[in-house]
Amino acid sequence: MTVRAIRGRVPRKAAFMAFLAVMGPGLITGFAGNDAGGVTTYTAVGARYGYSLLWLLFLSTAGLVVIQEMCARMGAVTGKGLSDLIRERFGVRWTIVAMLALLVANGTNVAAEYAGIAASLGLLGVPSSVSVPVAGIAIWVLVVFFSYRIVERALFVVILAFVAYPITAVIVHPDWGGVATGLVLPTLSIEQAALIAALALVGTTITPYMQFYIQASIVDKGIDEAQYGYARLDVLLGALLTGVNALFMIVVAGHVLFPEGVIVNSAADAARALVPLAGAQAGLLFGIGLFGASLLAATVMPLSTSYAICEAFGWESGISKNFSEAPVFMGLFTLLLVAGGIVVVLFPQQLLIQLILASQAINGLLLPVVLAFILRLASDRSIMGGSANGRITTTIGWGIAAIASLLSVGYVVMTLLGIG
C-alpha cells in the first residue's frame, strides 16, 4: 500500500483518534520554525515595510508545505532519517560536509534562542543569568529523563504561547483590508534594504534544520506508511500555522510600528515599542509569544542536530533512549545546550549578533544542498517505491528549490558584501 492509498472508509471518530495518535511532528516542527530569529525578521519586516511583503510570506509558506511533506513522507516510507538517506545515497563525504555546516549553524542558533528567552523574560525584570540556566536545565531534564511521548506533550503546551500573536493582532485593530491587499498584490521596492528584507523573510521560513527534524521525529515516533495519511494532515497544519503566526507578527508590527517609523533590531525591541503605542497588554503578549517561540526552538534545534549527526554516522538516536543506549545523541544534545547558554551569558551582545549573522549565512549556503538532496531522494523509486514524487510534484519541488536557493544564496552574498 502506498501513502496515496486509502483502505476503505474509516468512521469519523476512529479517523479523528488515529489523527490524534500521529499528530505532533508536523505541528511542532512548523511552530519551531517561528523561532527567535524568525520573530525578529518578521517584526522587522512589518515595522519597516508594513503589509507590502505579505505576498512573499504566502509564497514561502506554500513552498514550506511542499518540502516538509516530502521529508515526512520519506520518513514514513523508509523508516530512516534524512541524513541517513543522504549517507546511503550520496556517500560519506557529502554527508560530512552537510553535517559540519548544520552543526555550526545550529550550534550558533541555539545561542540565539537563549537570547530570545533572556530578552522575553527580561521584559519582566528577570536577568539572563537566571533565565538562561533555568531554561537550559528544564529543557535538558525534559529530553534526557522522559519519553518521546511526554516530550511531545510538553512541547504542545509550549506551542500554546503562540496564541499570543493573533490575540495581539486583535487588540491593535489592524486594517484587514490592507492585509488582504498585501497578501495578493505583489510589490517590492528595488532599494537594497527591501531586497535584503525579502531574502531574509524567505530564508527564515524555510530552514534546513526543520527538514532534518520533521523526518527524524516521524521515524522516532514510529509513524509508518499506513499511518501517513493522517500524519500528512499534521504536516500540512504545522506548515500553514507557522505561516499564519508569521503573518500576525508582521501585521502587528506593520500596523503599530510602521506608521511611527520604529526601527526593530530584535523581537524584544518590538515588544518594548508596542507598550507606549498599543498598550502594556500588547507588549506583554508579544513578549509571551517570543518566550514560547524561543523555548520551543531551543528544544527542537539541538534535537534536530543530534538526530541528523547520529543518523548520518549510524549512531543510536532517539528521545526515549537514555545516555547508555544513545551516548552520542544525548551527549551532543547536552553539549549544544550548555555551549549555547554559555555564549549568551558570557559573550558580549555585539559578538552574539555577529555569530547569529554567520549562522544565517551558513544556513543560506546549506539550504540549496539540502533541498537538492530532498528532491532527488523523494523522487527515487528505488528508495520510495510507489510513494515517490510524481512528475508534477517533482517539477513544483525543483521550482521551489531553485527559487529558495537563489534567494538564500543572494541573501548570503549581500550580507557578506555589507549591502543593505
Q: What CATH number has the domain bearing residue 405?
A: 1.20.1740.10
Residue 293 is assigned to a structural domain of this protein: yes
Dihedral pair phi/psi, residue 379, rounded to 5°: -100, 0
Residue 285 is assigned to a structural domain of this protein: yes
The cell numbers describing 37, all together, are 530569529
The per-residue DSSP string of 392-408 comes to HHHHHHHHHHHHHHHHH
Residue 124 is assigned to a structural domain of this protein: yes
For residues 159-173, average pLDDT: 90
Q: Band the pLDDT of 3: cuts 50, 70, 90.
A: very low
Chain segment 185-232, per-residue pLDDT in tens: 888 776 767 777 777 787 778 888 889 999 999 999 989 888 888 889
The full length of the chain comes to 420
Residue 16 is assigned to a structural domain of this protein: no
For residues 304-316, average pLDDT: 91
| Distant-in-sequence, close-in-space partners of 420: CB < 8 Å, separation ≥ 6 | 192, 193, 195, 196, 414
Chain segment 98-120, per-residue pLDDT in tens: 888 888 878 888 888 888 898 88
Q: Which residue has the cell 476503505?
A: 8
For 18-23, the CB contacts below 8 A with 24+ separation are 18/227, 18/230, 19/230, 19/233, 19/234, 21/227, 21/230, 22/221, 22/223, 22/227, 22/230, 22/231, 22/234, 23/230, 23/234
Q: How many domains does the chain have?
A: 1
| Distant-in-sequence, close-in-space partners of 194: CB < 8 Å, separation ≥ 6 | 49, 188
For residues 228-239, average pLDDT: 91
Residue-level pLDDT at 7: 46
Comparing 170 with 196, the larger pLDDT belongs to 170
Residue 11 is assigned to a structural domain of this protein: no
Residues 365, 361: Cα–Cα separation, whole Å: 6
* Lowest-pLDDT range of 39-43, 69-73, 84-88, 353-357: 353-357
CA gyration radius for the chain? 20
Comparing 152 with 420, the larger pLDDT belongs to 152
Domain of 370? 24-416
Answer whether 71's CB lies under 8 Å from 208's CB: no
The whole model's pTM is what? Answer: 0.86
Q: Band the pLDDT of 92: cuts 50, 70, 90.
A: confident
Residue 265 is assigned to a structural domain of this protein: yes
Residue 5 is assigned to a structural domain of this protein: no
The cell numbers describing 370, all together, are 539540502
Residues 356, 352: Cα–Cα separation, whole Å: 6
Chain segment 362-408, per-residue pLDDT in tens: 777 778 888 889 999 999 999 999 999 988 888 988 888 888 777 77
User: Average pLDDT over the chain, rounded to whole?
Assistant: 86
Residue 263 is assigned to a structural domain of this protein: yes
